[in-house]
Amino acid sequence: MKFDYDSAVARWAWPHLQNGISADRLVNVLSDDCGYSGPIARRVISAIEAPEHNNLDLVFPSEPAKPSWSPGDTNRSVIANADCALVFASLDPHLELVAGVLTAAECDALREFTLVARPQEPGALASAAPMQERKSTDPGFAPLSDPVRRRISHTFNWPLAAVGPLQLWAQPEAIESRTSLPAPVSRAVLWLCLDVVDAASTLEVLNLGMLVRPRPGSGLLVGAEPTEVRIIPKGLRAMASVSFDALAKP
């Protein structure tokens, strides 16, 4: 993508103008301290100086560009589940809430698998712990996981080899520390809601002061760049996650 210098300057200047720094001062900083052409700096600053009357598209592009490395928008043509659709997207931090990633039947099966403890299995869920990661050693896991991973690969236009294993979480209240993704290995993580939610069931996105209440089967895609995202799940009994890795990037 061609770097748009005017837009970058406008985005830099915009908060300073809002905070009362004069346009002349900003032009001087650009031309004297940054080596930016004086007439061009003047033109850009003038364009946003009176934003109610000028072209704010320079500061805020009307259609946000998607980073080239990002998993793509939902690809409705290749999935059987026609209800799969983008609900909202945020560019920075990079978030996408996608409805209908899992079918209701898949949700039920994965939730049951997550919540029902199987004592014979190493790593089985312990009720005392606030969060437990479900181990994938159970022979019943692969038939549940494989089709879901394939569909996620199609839905988000990301190669299957780079879609990490499906991880299951019970009572995922203390998951925040795990969302510091080790970029560039993990490009994004998709958090899948398996539980019926109510007003008290949320994913809190701290960076944006945002509460998300995903329906069962919805996925919140969280990018590792450009800004790290901190998310706290609350009031959800069961979630699943997969990572989108960069190692097999297309």
Site residues (vs another protein, CB under 8 A) = 18, 51-52, 56-57, 59-60, 62-64, 85-92, 97, 99, 197, 199, 204, 206-215, 218, 230, 232, 234
CB of 36 to another protein, least distance (A): 24
SS3 72: coil
CB of 49 to another protein, least distance (A): 12
- What are the distances in angstroms from CA 50 to CA 14, 19, 127, 164? 11, 13, 59, 48
Helical H runs in 29-80? Answer: 38-49
Looking at the Cβ atoms of 78 and 211, the one nearer to another protein is: 211
Q: Residues 48-52: contacts with CB within 8 Å, 24+ apart?
A: 48/10, 48/13, 48/14, 48/17, 49/17, 49/23
Looking at the Cβ atoms of 160 and 206, the one nearer to another protein is: 206
CB of 245 to another protein, least distance (A): 25
3-state SS of 139-173?
CCHHHHHHHHHHHHHHHCCCCHHHECCCEEEECCC
Looking up tokens 């900003």 gives 26
Looking at the Cβ atoms of 92 and 225, the one nearer to another protein is: 92
CB of 24 to another protein, least distance (A): 20
Handedness of CA 102, 176, 161, 89 (dihedral sign): positive
Looking at the Cβ atoms of 86 and 116, the one nearer to another protein is: 86
Looking at the Cβ atoms of 167 and 172, the one nearer to another protein is: 172
Question: 53: which 2 tokens?
Answer: 């009357």
CB of 21 to another protein, least distance (A): 15
Residues 6+ away with beta carbon under 8 Å from 131? 169, 170, 171, 172, 173, 174, 175
CB of 242 to another protein, least distance (A): 21
Looking at the Cβ atoms of 16 and 118, the one nearer to another protein is: 16
SS3 49: helix
Report CA 160 to chain centroid distance, whole Å: 19
